[in-house]
Structure 1
Amino acid sequence: MEGIQHKFIQVSDGLKIHVAEIGSGPSVVVFLHGFPEIWYSWRHQMIAVAKAGYRAIAPDYRGYGLSDPPPEPQKASFVDFIKDMVEVLDALSIQKVFLVGKDFGAPLAYYIALLHPNRVSAIATLGLPFLAPKNPLRHNLLPEGFYVYRWKEPGRAEADFGRFDARTVVRYIYILFSKSEIPIASENQEVMDLVEPSTPLPPWITEEEFESSYGDLYEKSGFETALQVPYRI
């Protein structure tokens, strides 16, 4: 897509992390995706940043997209993701970056900046403010049917998602999250029940884009790692 190149970088525990890249400027912007997303979510921003004279990089985290899954997805953590990102920068001989994070890519950006301040020149985030780990404000502010609480419960999302193929699950999540209200399931509903099957995709993504990127790649990766990070850490 308009000059975006792809490579795989092996990190210290043997996994290969997929990285999309465009541009060759001396300043580097790293885009960190959320769920249910992949590097492709940043394609338009990457091209714009490269045209402005920067080098743009967007990884797939371990267990997401084209990157290898961890051997034990239920034990994946933010620490693993942070380590992977730092090792990717080392492999690409990049000393310092501007981080852009969306959804749970935002706390990932915050933690990288806190733990590796010498590697970060600035950050910009969308969707989530900084909250310290285990902050009580992270819990009990929304009803029990809030999707985060449902997906945090081991086995519940697996049973809910397991009624459909992976591409249908991602399709339904995009439909839900593109509405103006937060999706809340009632006591006798699951999150996937909130979607009317005939509802079209939101207007910001075409059927072709969905099928050739998100649909195909989530069929490959599944949701084991994605449910662990960010929902169950």
Structure 2
Amino acid sequence: MDQIEHKFLLVNGLKLHVAELGSESSPAVIFLHGFPEIWYTWRHQMIAVANAGFRVIAPDFRGYGLSDSPAEPEKASFDDLINDTASILDSLAISKVFVIAKDFGAMVAYPFALLHPHKVAGIITLGVPFMPPGAFKHHFVLPEGFYVRRWQEPGRAEADFGRLEVKTVVRNIYILFSQSQMQIADENEEIMDLVKPLTPLPSWFTEEDLEIYGALYQKSGFQTALQVPYRSLGTVGSIVQDPKIEVPTMLIIGNEDYAYKVPGMDEYVRSGEVKKYVPNLETVYVPNGSHFVHEQFPDHVNQIILTFLDRIKK
């Protein structure tokens, strides 16, 4: 971890934080995080991929971690994150990159590849497949009481989170998102109420990890994070008409990832419908893997990633 360098880039009017490791002359890999994550979620992958001969960079999205928040977080969009990604690569003089993305980071990675196909050598996403236009209206049904629906309501998550210390909010989300079943709140219950106070952290997520996450969310708050992704999901997939991802692509899924209990999600992947949009897709399932499979089983996931990268770079 001490080898990882940290820098700040002035990007689209904001100072964005980027963690970096590896030689500038090596093939480049950019890691895009999800929620409740920041660059640190990729700590295991950055070291392994850099040691294998790649230049790795992991930014904090605007409004996350050490990056500046936009002046009007309630107006932040996926377009902002896509544009930031392109600008970060330009600032670092990286002309072509492998993109590895987790959770909603996939909703940045795929549109980025559609808009900048000449910049992308290959894509790996963890947990989230390519989303077709209108996915959250027509393909996948999100139950009432599911956290995504609740957090889309302006003010509701803010009030729920505001009852607790920031570190406790992150702790509860990590516990919730590590479950194998969708956690659904009752009508008169809030999402934070779903976690009992003495529930332990997942065994692979330490108190030290939590301290780092908690300190960074204490700095950034949750305002931008609630806007992107949750309150911007209606815009996902609308950026290009008749989208098709042509580069080699891999989807890594934990077999116990609760997200595949969302009605329609598992069928969308297993039926091959996703390949209408991503024809060169390979899907790998990790036994016993949760939504945080890359932190839970880092050595196994690192090997999957490196096998893919070595194959594509040749």
TM over 0.5: yes
The answer to whether the 8 Å contact 1:31/1:100 transfers is yes
Equivalent residue number for residue 19 of structure 1: 18
Equivalent residue number for residue 78 of structure 1: 78
CA distance in 2, matches of 1:9, 1:219: 21
CA distance in 2, matches of 1:220, 1:26: 33
Equivalent residue number for residue 61 of structure 1: 61
Q: CA deviation at 1:179?
A: 1.4
Equivalent residue number for residue 123 of structure 1: 123
Equivalent residue number for residue 179 of structure 1: 179
- Is 1:137 matched with 2:145? no
Q: CA deviation at 1:159?
A: 1.1
User: Residue 33 and residue 138 in structure 1: after superposition, are their counterparts in 2 closer, same or farther (change >3 A)?
Assistant: farther
Equivalent residue number for residue 38 of structure 2: 38
User: Given the two structures, how large is their TM-score scaled by the length of structure 1?
Assistant: 0.96
- Is 1:231 matched with 2:192? no
Equivalent residue number for residue 302 of structure 2: none
For residues 63-212 of structure 1, the aligned pairs below 5 Å read 63-135=63-135, 136-137=137-138, 141-211=141-211
CA distance in 1, matches of 2:33, 2:4: 17
Equivalent residue number for residue 263 of structure 2: none
CA distance in 1, matches of 2:165, 2:87: 33
User: Given the two structures, how large is their TM-score scaled by the length of structure 2?
Assistant: 0.71
RMSD over aligned Cα atoms:
1.1
Q: CA deviation at 1:156?
A: 1.0
Q: What amino acid sits opposite 2:36 in the alignment?
A: P
Could you list the per-position Cα deviations for residues 98-123 of structure 1 after superposition, in whole angstroms to 9, with x for gaps in the alignment?
A: 00011000111101001111111110
Could you list the per-position Cα deviations for residues 149-202 of structure 1 after superposition, in whole angstroms to 9, with x for gaps in the alignment?
A: 000111111111111121111110001111111111111111100000111211
Dislocated runs of 4+, deviation >3 Å = none
Q: What amino acid sits opposite 1:221 in the alignment?
A: S
Q: What amino acid sits opposite 1:35 in the alignment?
A: F
State the SS of the aligned residue for 2:43: helix
State the SS of the aligned residue for 2:150: helix
State the SS of the aligned residue for 1:17: strand
Equivalent residue number for residue 222 of structure 1: 221
Equivalent residue number for residue 287 of structure 2: none
State the SS of the aligned residue for 2:229: helix
Q: What amino acid sits opposite 2:160 in the alignment?
A: D
State the SS of the aligned residue for 1:53: coil
Q: CA deviation at 1:134?
A: 2.5
CA distance in 1, matches of 2:177, 2:189: 17
State the SS of the aligned residue for 1:232: helix
Equivalent residue number for residue 47 of structure 2: 47
State the SS of the aligned residue for 2:187: coil
Q: What amino acid sits opposite 1:131 in the alignment?
A: M
State the SS of the aligned residue for 2:20: strand
Unmatched segments (≥5 aa) in structure 2: 233-314
State the SS of the aligned residue for 1:7: strand
CA distance in 2, matches of 1:137, 1:130: 14
Could you list the per-position Cα deviations for residues 12-61 of structure 1 after superposition, in whole angstroms to 9, with x for gaps in the alignment?
A: 3x210100000115211100000000000001100000010001110000
The answer to whether the 8 Å contact 1:96/1:118 transfers is yes
State the SS of the aligned residue for 2:41: helix
The answer to whether the 8 Å contact 2:172/2:192 transfers is yes
CA distance in 1, matches of 2:66, 2:146: 29
Q: CA deviation at 1:133?
A: 3.6
The answer to whether the 8 Å contact 2:101/2:125 transfers is yes
Q: CA deviation at 1:138?
A: 5.1
Q: What amino acid sits opposite 1:137 in the alignment?
A: H
The answer to whether the 8 Å contact 1:2/1:47 transfers is no
State the SS of the aligned residue for 1:57: strand
